[in-house]
């Protein structure tokens, strides 16, 4: 219901009616809407962490494939991402937790990119040159659902995910070595 109508437009009454239960059954476990949203956030974090912890193929192909799985997972929780800016303003405690988690993920992301440089899939760049690339990749990974919604692509999961993976590949292609471009081509061929 959140994905179909938006978090802001679905309350306990609507959820209870859809589930054919009394609203009190929901508020017993989730006293406020923010408590329910925190649970959604926790489930997203758990499933994302499982994907990050899975063994992956080596190289840039493995990195892109991991992001493909993350994007499909994020799509299941798309209403969360669309409502996130407002929610971060309204719930200070959640905002602090979210920002700490994002800092941790950003560090992990930077380590992944550094490993790809060390393995020869990406060109070696100075820290100053790499910073905007990392920021662009992180923004794409975090905000692609909002942009897919604006672009009118959100109703088709595969088209939305593939479009933004192609955009990520385009960013990576700017700093990819020949070895890395082979991996990018491989995953792009799979998206056709």
Residue 22 is classified by DSSP as -
pTM beyond 0.85, yes or no: yes
Question: What is the tens place of the pLDDT at every residue in 77-135?
Answer: 998 888 888 888 888 988 999 899 888 888 888 899 999 999 999 999 998 988 898 88
Looking at the structure, tell me whether residues 86 and 112 fall in a common domain: yes
How much of the chain, in percent, has pLDDT values that exceed 90? Answer: 52
Looking at the structure, tell me whether residues 84 and 7 fall in a common domain: no
State how far the Cα of 62 lies from the Cα of 117, in Å rounded to an integer: 14
Looking at the structure, tell me whether residues 27 and 60 fall in a common domain: no
Looking at the structure, tell me whether residues 18 and 39 fall in a common domain: no
Residue 166: pLDDT band with limits 50, 70, 90 = very high
State how far the Cα of 169 lies from the Cα of 176, in Å rounded to an integer: 10
Looking at the structure, tell me whether residues 129 and 74 fall in a common domain: yes
Which domain covers residue 40, as residue numbers? 35-190
Number of domains in the chain: 2
Looking at the structure, tell me whether residues 182 and 89 fall in a common domain: yes
Looking at the structure, tell me whether residues 44 and 64 fall in a common domain: yes
Cβ contacts of residue 64 below 8 Å, gap of 6+? 165, 168, 169, 172, 183, 184, 187
Looking at the structure, tell me whether residues 3 and 93 fall in a common domain: no
């Amino acid at each position: 219901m959140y994905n179909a109508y938006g978090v802001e437009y679905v309350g306990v009454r609507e959820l209870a009616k859809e589930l054919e239960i009394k609203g009190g059954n929901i508020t017993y476990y989730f006293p406020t809407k923010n408590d329910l949203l925190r649970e959604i956030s926790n489930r997203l974090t758990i499933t994302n962490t499982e994907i990050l912890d899975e063994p992956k193929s080596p190289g840039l192909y493995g990195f892109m494939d991991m992001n493909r799985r993350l994007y499909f997972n994020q799509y299941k929780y798309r209403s969360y991402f669309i409502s996130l800016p407002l929610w971060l303003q309204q719930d200070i405690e959640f905002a602090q937790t979210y920002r700490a988690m994002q800092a941790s993920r950003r560090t992990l992301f930077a380590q992944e990119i550094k490993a790809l440089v060390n393995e020869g899939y990406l060109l070696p760049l100075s820290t100053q040159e790499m910073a905007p690339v990392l920021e662009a990749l992180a923004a794409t990974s975090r905000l692609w659902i909002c942009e897919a919604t604006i672009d009118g692509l959100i109703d088709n999961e595969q088209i939305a995910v593939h479009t933004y993976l192609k955009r990520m590949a385009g960013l990576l292609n700017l700093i990819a070595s020949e070895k890395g471009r082979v991996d990018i081509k491989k995953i792009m061929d799979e998206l056709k």
